A and B are shown apart, each in its own frame.
Chain A
Amino acid sequence: MEIRSREFKQRSVFAIHDANLQSALDRARDGFIGTRAARAAELPEFEQLREEAKGLKNHILEHLDHYLEKYEAAVTAAGGHVHWARDAAEARRIVLEICKRHDAKTVTKGKSMISEEIGLNEALIANGMEVVETDLGEYIIQLAEEPPSHIIAPAVHKTKKQITELFAAHHDRPPKTSVPDLVNEAREMLRGKFFAADVGITGGNFLIAETGSSVIVTNEGNGDLTQTLARVHIVTSSIEKVVPTLDDATLLLRLLARSATGQETETYTTFSTGPRREGDIDGPEEYHVVLVDNGRSKMLGGRFREMLRCIRCGACMNHCPVYGSVGGHAYGWVYPGPMGSVLTPLIKGLDNSYDLPNACTLNGRCASVCPVKIPLPDLLRELRHMQHQRELSPPTQRHALALWRFAATRPKLYHFGERIATRALALAGRTKGRIRRMPFAAGWTDTRDLPAPTGKTFIDQWKARRGQK
């Protein structure tokens, strides 16, 4: 997927004025936040689980090479194949080779964010394959030729009416208006594709080192059909998804569902271990795992290691008031919201995504709901620090900061400046108590009045009063 994060500002303004998007976002926000809170409240040990999960992920990241090697050995022992991809291009090439070797014409996909990250669909389509997204949300946006706007609810930006129109345009059937009718229609359209598929590609929510299993969770069962009906199953996953044991996966699964959709558990949680064995009634003939690095090992060795704890639940974006105002497309790449604002600059470069770490009020709501306690605001601030050091921030901002520092480290000068500013602003506000227009502060006064100072500065008044005593 092409990165368009440089356009964040324009895209965010456009999004705020898109009435359809705003109504879709309002609806989604109400649903996700309430249900997560309810499920968390039902589980007295929820906070303790977050702490345990954080500890578990830290342990894994500390010994990532060990668990990945163990995982690879277990997959091989179960008759599967593990492929290592350093970057997106290598990952695409590996998947493409497997598909070509099997002369694949139709490829079905269970939702996988890593495949979006590596731009897999475009590569397969360019090589003449039909690629069908089987997750309902992904199916919808595939018809609309749009990228996902959320990592667990990719079509969350669409209203029901828009989906009705989209289906009517593509399915050659009378328009349906109820949700069950729409879902059934998508199900019918997809059924034939599942049977026709030569290769099924899924993501991996977790990879289990002790058994060599990959785990996916879905609410539609599309992942199961994708991976059992095709002749070949390819799992694409980033390297940090490995966990030591089945028990560890269970801990994270309990947190994932509650944090993501506010369910106790997803409807389908499927463990796959290798290809079909003798006597199995279904399952693929070949089972491949493509382990994608694409910047992770670099993250592992630096100050952004904590980001690799992410289990892709989407809770941060569901609770982010900025995401809730502009939606996921404004962020311009695969991962939106707070987690995306950290990941995108790290994977695609700081200069390609200047606004993302900055377009955050540091209100901390994301960190307060993150199931693995990633300090997202601190990481965003750290990215701003790197931008400042590399002089990527606007010169006006850097000059203003230098001037501010010069004055603020000289209290007499600073107070003098405050005194002048107070007097000027108080004069501008006169008796109205507010200022409607301020040169150089258009960002504020275009939509807001500026409250005017009420008199002299506090410190001046304090000194005058104490002096009288």
Chain B
Amino acid sequence: MSLAPHRDEAGDRLGMWLFLFTELLLFGGLFLLYGVYLARTPEDFIRAGGELDLVLGTANTVLLITSSLTVAVAVSALQKGARSLTLGMLGITVLCALIFLVNKGFEWRAKIDHDIYPGSKRLLAGEGGESVFYSLYYLTTGLHALHVLLGAALLGWVGFRIRGGRRDGEGAVLENVGLYWHLVDLVWIFIFPLYYLIL
């Protein structure tokens, strides 16, 4: 047996999928709490959820879905050897991620300005369900925003590697980072209706 490095792309992909399961379950805990507390205090949840900014939420959804498309195009482009298209698509993806975070920042800022954050006077004085709703809102979207940030960093990193001309198994690396990005998108696809639409 030689010590020459060999790549096992199927193994890499399997490892990534397993990791993505753990991420889904991490968010699953928060969704579980959401479900239980929604069932207990539906009126409070409806009142609190009605105050979220539907326009910004929708804009962010469009941004993430677009970025999922561009990352998928980037993966295909690299397979076909179109490096500049790959890099361009990755650039758009990262840009979408950054705009998403800025939007999220505006949303949070507006809520905090209205004295809505965990432990604020307004929430302490109001109904329990409202306080729970906003705690979950901040925790879930905050954890998601961290993932957006991490995903964007990974996309940037793989982009620089490709630009620097790295060849060995670049496709598999990009594909795995792309999978991660789809997960970030997928989690948002659950957050958006639960917090913005159904209430």
Q: Do A and B come together as binding partners?
A: no
Interface residues of A (CB under 8 A from B): none
Interface residues of B (CB under 8 A from A): none
